[in-house]
Amino acid sequence: MAISFQVTFDCADPDRLADFWAGVLGYKKQDPPAGYDTWPAFLTAQGVPEDQWDTRSAIVDSEGRGARIFFQRVPEPKTVKNRVHLDVSVSGGPSVRPYRGAARPHRRRCDPRCGSRGHARARV
């Protein structure tokens, strides 16, 4: 039996990277917990200060098969080569072709050097 896991990336802009990778992988941003219509409603109920609301973001496979990917803001800038990255092959036929187009605009908007210490890259 496989063990479930998540991949976590330290970065400067969690929401930006979450948008990028959701587009590349066909994922979606994680919904707020049951009982809350929005993340701000949940965070307010939990007493999280508003200036901390943009320090984390997560994306999930809407079909529940792929790993959760979590992005967390860190204060220090990237200083060394990345040790972990995601390589996505989208050349495998019609079932993956829609993702090729989704990645291109995000890739232009989100330069891989935008502060991610656990930088991920897509092969498109």
Q: Count how many residues are written for the chain.
A: 124
6-11 sheet: strands from edge to edge: 6-11, 68-73, 56-60, 28-29
Q: What is the pLDDT of residues 53-112, one digit of tens each?
A: 999 999 999 998 999 999 999 988 888 877 777 888 766 655 554 544 555 544 444 444
- What is the third-level CATH fold of 6-109? 2,3-Dihydroxybiphenyl 1,2-Dioxygenase; domain 1 (3.10.180)
CA atoms within 13 A on the CB side of 85: 14
For the packed helices 14-25 and 97-109, what is the interaxial angle rounded to 10 degrees? 160
- Taking residues 3-10, report their average pLDDT: 91
pTM for this one? 0.71
